[in-house]
């Protein structure tokens, strides 16, 4: 399969009831470059014009933009325009690779004796602010943990179970909704699916990280596409859940293949539909925009995302 290109526009607009006197904001709106993705162009436009604007690399290798506004304003608009190129990546068979028990033991006791990739993977094994390590999460994955099962078999099975047993329902949760509540009510949005899959994997000793980005709608190969197709009119391509907005998925450390990405919201391996912005331990590490303001009172928030194919 040849490479594909996308142009993405991400608009975030805050409207405040009163004037904001001072604002400090942090952005994760620059696409990452990796083995499967290359950032060709990238621009960020901010209104009103910031007093201070800077960029730096965080500890996970994401490019972070910071800015400060020092004049009264009742509206903040941040527009990120980007163009990316995605290569086709081989999808390793689920029955190949090291067993989950081998990887768990190596991450616990031998990672420092292996190469740098293993040491890096250890950063994504433990608890983080939005992902707890608990027996209940491990129990959810327990039926998939046959001694001979590969990491990919465990991850594929867990992804499919989450998709099958949970309902995608915008508004059912907030970012602060505890994962135990998500597990109990069996509904949520893409960040809940991703956080829960990560919690299950970390709770059995595997390494998994949270990936934020965008999703282009096109026919998919997994069960999610078949379900979407059932509700689509004749001649329409099935829509993937999470398209036309920010999306989230999971990368799992699966030696010898490295990091393999899974989209539990759509029950599919990540391929050329997914455009990665940033990755970290959980949503808190990669929030597209967050900050602190002085004044403003109540506010309304509007987020608009458009993903358009471009000729390669």
Question: What pLDDT shows up at residue 236?
Answer: 45
Per-residue pLDDT averaged across 29-35, rounded? Answer: 94
Give the pLDDT band of residue 311 (cuts 50, 70, 90): confident
CATH number of the domain bearing residue 14: 2.60.40.2250
Does 93 map to a domain? Answer: no
Q: Is pLDDT above 80 for 290?
A: yes
- Predicted local confidence at residue 166, as pLDDT: 97
Q: Is residue 279 part of a domain?
A: no
Of 55-64, 115-124, 151-160, 281-290, which range is least confident? 115-124
178 and 292 share a domain? no
Does 240 or 263 have the greater pLDDT score? 263
> pLDDT at position 223, please?
41
Same domain, 136 and 83: no
Residues 265, 301 share a domain:
no
| 235 band by pLDDT with thresholds 50, 70 and 90 | very low
Q: What is the pLDDT of residue 217?
A: 76
Instruction: Give residue 34's pLDDT band: very low, low, confident or very high (50, 70, 90).
Output: very high
Range of the domain at 122: 100-270
3-state secondary structure string, the chain?
CCCEEEEEEEEEEEEEEEEEEEEEEEECCCCCCCCCEEEEEEEEEEECCCCEEEEEECCCCCEEEEEEECCCEEEEEEEEEEEEEECCCCCCCCCCCCEHHHHHHHHHHCHHHCCHHHHHHHHHCCCECCECCCHHHHHHCHHHCCCCCEHHHHHHHHHHHHHHHCEECCCCCCCCCCHHHHHHHCEECHHHHHHHHHHHHHHCCCCEEEEEEEECCCCCCCHHHHHHHHCCCCCCCCCCCCCCCEEEEEEEECCCCCEEEEECCCCEECCCCEEEEEEECCHHHHCCEEEEEEECCCEEEEEEEEEEEECC
Count how many domains the chain has: 2
Give the mean pLDDT of 17-25.
97
CA nearest neighbour of 44 among 57, 29, 33? 29
Please indicate, yes or no, if residue 282 is contained in any of the structural domains.
no
pLDDT in tens, 98-152: 999 999 999 988 767 678 899 999 999 999 999 999 999 999 999 999 989 999 9
Query: Please, what sign has the CA dihedral across residues 271, 276, 278, 283?
Result: negative
Look at 226 and 177; give whichever has higher pLDDT. 177
Using the Cα atoms of residue 231, residue 235, residue 241 and residue 246 in order, give the sign of their dihedral: negative
**Does 225 have pLDDT greater than 90?**
no
User: Is 24 found in the same domain as 154?
Assistant: no
Asked whether residue 224 carries a pLDDT value surpassing 70, the answer given is no
Domain match, 197 and 137 both: yes
Domain membership flag for residue 281: no
Q: Is residue 277 domain-resident?
A: no
- Give the model's confidence band at 89: pLDDT under 50 very low, under 70 low, under 90 confident, else very high: confident
Answer yes or no: is 278 within a domain: no
Whole-prediction pTM: 0.90
pLDDT per residue over 155-187, tens digit each? Answer: 999 999 999 999 999 999 999 999 999 999 999
């Amino acid at each position: 399969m040849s490479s594909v290109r996308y142009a993405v526009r991400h608009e975030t607009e805050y409207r405040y009831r009163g004037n904001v006197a001072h604002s400090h904001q942090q952005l994760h709106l620059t696409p990452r470059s990796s083995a499967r993705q290359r950032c060709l162009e990238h621009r960020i436009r901010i209104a009103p014009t910031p007093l201070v604007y800077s960029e730096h690399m965080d500890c996970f290798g994401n490019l972070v933009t910071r800015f400060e506004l020092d004049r009264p304003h009742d509206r903040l608009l941040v527009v990120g325009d980007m163009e990316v190129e995605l290569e086709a990546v081989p999808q390793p068979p689920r029955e190949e690779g090291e067993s989950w028990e081998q990887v768990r033991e190596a991450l616990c006791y031998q990672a420092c004796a292996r190469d740098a990739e293993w040491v890096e993977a250890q950063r994504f094994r433990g608890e983080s602010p939005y992902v707890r390590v608990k027996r209940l999460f491990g129990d959810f994955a327990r039926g998939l943990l046959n001694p001979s099962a590969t990491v990919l078999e465990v991850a594929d099975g867990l992804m499919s179970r989450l998709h099958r047993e949970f309902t995608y329902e915008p508004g059912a949760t907030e970012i602060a909704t505890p994962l135990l509540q998500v597990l109990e009510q069996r509904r949520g949005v893409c960040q809940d699916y991703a956080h829960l899959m990560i919690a299950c994997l970390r709770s059995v000793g595997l390494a998994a990280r949270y990936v934020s980005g965008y999703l282009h709608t096109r026919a998919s190969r997994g069960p999610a596409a078949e379900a979407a197709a059932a509700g689509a009119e004749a001649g329409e391509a099935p829509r993937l859940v999470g398209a036309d907005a920010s999306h989230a998925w999971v990368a799992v450390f699966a030696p010898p293949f490295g990091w393999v990405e899974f989209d539990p919201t759509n029950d599919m391996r990540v391929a050329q539909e997914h455009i990665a912005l940033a990755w970290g331990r959980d949503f808190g590490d990669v929030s597209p925009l967050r900050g602190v303001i002085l004044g403003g009172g109540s506010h309304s928030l509007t987020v608009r995302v458009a993903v358009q194919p471009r000729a390669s």
